[in-house]
Structure 1
Amino acid sequence: MTQKLTPGTAAMLVIPPMLWAGNAVVGRLVHELISPIALNFIRWVLAFGVLLPLAHGVLRKDSPLWPHWRRYALLGLLGIGLYNAFQYMALQTSTPINVTLVGSSMPVWMLAVGSLFFGVRVTQRQLLGALLSICGVLLVLSRGEWAQLLAFRLVPGDLFMMLATISWAFYSWLLSRTTEPTRIRGDWAAFLMAQMVFGLAWSGSFAGVEWATGHFHATWGWPLVAALVFIAVGPAVLAYRFWGVGVQRAGPAVAGFFVNLTPLFAGILSAAFLGETPQLFHGVAFALIVGGIVVSSRKA
């Protein structure tokens, strides 16, 4: 059953794609300054430092985290260790349009994972909403010229992005399954810290493999430092905070449609920072994406 989408919940779910669009823009700006796995690991090290004063109690021996460590280890793997690492890896061999096209399949994966692994029935409204939303994303990516999509070709990076999207779908559904005590679930900082403890272990292990294979590199300077601070505070801490609340309120199936706002916000940020003038198709795409969200979230 779909759940009612309130204005407050919608606002919660709009903020993460806005920050994630910023993450994509900034990540692209520094992709020559730092290797992808190192970027992901250092990002979460900084985010850990930001969150530590708010949630240091989670690390104590008597913390309610430890009886549920397997759940948090899985959440940390999917949401912190894998998703952004796969995304940064995808951008090494795939073009931004390919990566975003693959990422636009998020609503489909949300519905598929929910149906196959969590016993959630997919409704006709959700399927229609998915179609409308994806059409909006394709309109943005084609810049109003559908012929541009004919140049789409799969490369290894597209597979990485698909794995990232599937990882995030599982992560979001697991967020909606409450098993931990209210002490952690009711405290957003503690809940994110519980995931981050294990996520750091996963991403650190992946960074170690990157180092050992000779692919690690970083060119330090103010551009890279500023980028790391932004992606650690905004897309990491704040976006995960709002996404977690939004998923719990609206459900993963409805929340999945909001991810398709990311390329739209990316287009707006490109217009703001790269001087590209917004076009009519941006408005049409926005209407399609929002229409998909509204249709999929309405009760039958």
Structure 2
Amino acid sequence: MTEHHSGSRYANYPFIGFLFPILAVAIWATNAVVSKMATATIEPGAIAFYRWFFALLLLTPFCLTTVYRQRLQIKVHLTKLTVLASLGMVLNQSLAYYAAYTTSATNIAIFLSLMPLFGLFLAVPLLGTKLRIHTLIGALISFIGLVYMLSEGNPNQLLTQGFKQGDMLMFVSSLSYALYSVLLNRWKLPLTPWCAVYCQVFLGALLQLPLLLSSETTAISLSALPMVAFAAFAASIIAPWCWLKGVTQIGAARSTLFMNLVPLFTASMSIVMLGIHPSQYHLIGGGMVLVGLTLAQMKRVPTGMLEVNSSIKPQSPSLK
């Protein structure tokens, strides 16, 4: 995405530009809690499919004309679009729904916040970028914090019991989205943003159809309907629209920093929606992760000031 700040309709109200990524992050944080709540009402394969199926229905009236105009470019890049859909839609989101059975909403959020850091490391072989010393130090701090949190404050526990299945699934989920973002930067498909999103949503729904068919229950119960609706409309359409608006208003670099708020928002939502309070190890380990992430995403500029490392532009993040 191109970053620009001048000429904005919100030029006289600069704070509004920051509200867009904050709202997007708040929606994704809520979706992490919704994923946890959904485990009691709908199978992961079912909600993973229906999320993108209903998002596809909602997007079709607005995107179909553009998709038709760009059909030749879509045909040329169909393989790459399929790879992106597999990473961003199938692996990233479906694994998160399966992970919710054996890990907490707060843990899910911590892994979501690690996506930019994973992207920085993947960009080294795929984009030829270089890692700075503060990125490595930040990564080490985040890793120590993550181990402390996942071990519930007792790192020796990991040596005897290993990681929870849900945490391992979230690791793969976050890594998949990081790879998705890096490949978008590498390939730079000649499609409009929403056309690319629409194609990926279509392919994602198609690829996840086997998950639906393999589920014991494929119908959506009345109790699950609000969760599916939130995932399809708020998390898949409203949140990415707000994110793209934020990138336009304040730039991709500063927008990325707001991803660090996901764990904080999720912990707050867990208290309100689930009645679950974060444990001490969540606060200590999660705090270390956020400190490490902030350090890893900083870069030194000629003026001696620090700004966000924007070598990896956040791409249409409709996949959280």
**Residue 190, structure 1, aligned to residue 163, structure 2:** no
Label 1:53 to 1:133 Cα distance change in 2 as closer, same or farther (>3 A).
Answer: farther
Give the corresponding residue for 2:45.
37
Give the corresponding residue for 1:52.
60
Q: 1:293 offset after TM fit, Å? A: 3.2
- For 1:14-163, what aligned pairs fall within 5 Å after superposition? 14-60=22-68, 63=71, 64-96=73-105, 99-100=108-109, 102-103=111-112, 105-130=114-139, 147=153, 153-163=162-172
Q: 1:71 offset after TM fit, Å? A: 2.2
In structure 1, give the amino acid aligned to 2:101.
Q
Q: 1:225 offset after TM fit, Å? A: 1.0
In structure 1, give the amino acid aligned to 2:180.
Y
| Whole-angstrom CA distance in 2 between matches of 1:162 and 1:283 | 20
Give the corresponding residue for 2:232.
232
Q: 1:224 offset after TM fit, Å? A: 1.1
Local SS of the residue matching 1:222:
coil
1:133 and 1:257 in contact (8 A); partners too: no
Q: 1:113 offset after TM fit, Å? A: 0.7
Give the corresponding residue for 1:201.
206
Q: 1:191 offset after TM fit, Å? A: 2.9
1:137 and 1:289 in contact (8 A); partners too: no
Unpaired runs of 5+ in structure 2? 6-13, 302-320
1:250 to 227, 246, 252: 252
Q: 1:86 offset after TM fit, Å? A: 0.9
| Whole-angstrom CA distance in 2 between matches of 1:79 and 1:245 | 20
1:172 and 1:247 in contact (8 A); partners too: no
TM-score with structure 2 setting the length:
0.70
**Residue 180, structure 1, aligned to residue 189, structure 2:** yes
| Whole-angstrom CA distance in 2 between matches of 1:52 and 1:200 | 13
Label 1:165 to 1:115 Cα distance change in 2 as closer, same or farther (>3 A).
Answer: same
1:130 and 1:257 in contact (8 A); partners too: no
- What percentage of residue pairs aligned between the two structures are identical? 24
Equivalenced residues, count: 284
Give the corresponding residue for 2:264.
264
RMSD: 4.1
Local SS of the residue matching 1:194:
helix
2:25 and 2:261 in contact (8 A); partners too: yes
| Whole-angstrom CA distance in 2 between matches of 1:286 and 1:12 | 24
TM-score with structure 1 setting the length:
0.74
**Range moving further from structure 2, 270-279 or 234-243:** 270-279
Tell me the alpha carbon deviations over residues 170-201 of structure 1, each in whole angstroms, 9 at most, x when there is no partner: 111123345333xx32xx43231122122222
Tell me the alpha carbon deviations over residues 2-49 of structure 1, each in whole angstroms, 9 at most, x when there is no partner: x99998886554444322211111121121211111111001111111
| Whole-angstrom CA distance in 1 between matches of 2:279 and 2:99 | 28
Give the corresponding residue for 1:289.
290
In structure 1, give the amino acid aligned to 2:228.
L
Higher normalized helix content (fraction of residues): 1
Q: 1:103 offset after TM fit, Å? A: 4.8
Q: 1:100 offset after TM fit, Å? A: 5.0
| Whole-angstrom CA distance in 2 between matches of 1:286 and 1:219 | 40
1:164 to 173, 176, 188: 173
In structure 1, give the amino acid aligned to 2:32.
A
| Whole-angstrom CA distance in 2 between matches of 1:243 and 1:299 | 25
In structure 2, give the amino acid aligned to 1:197.
F
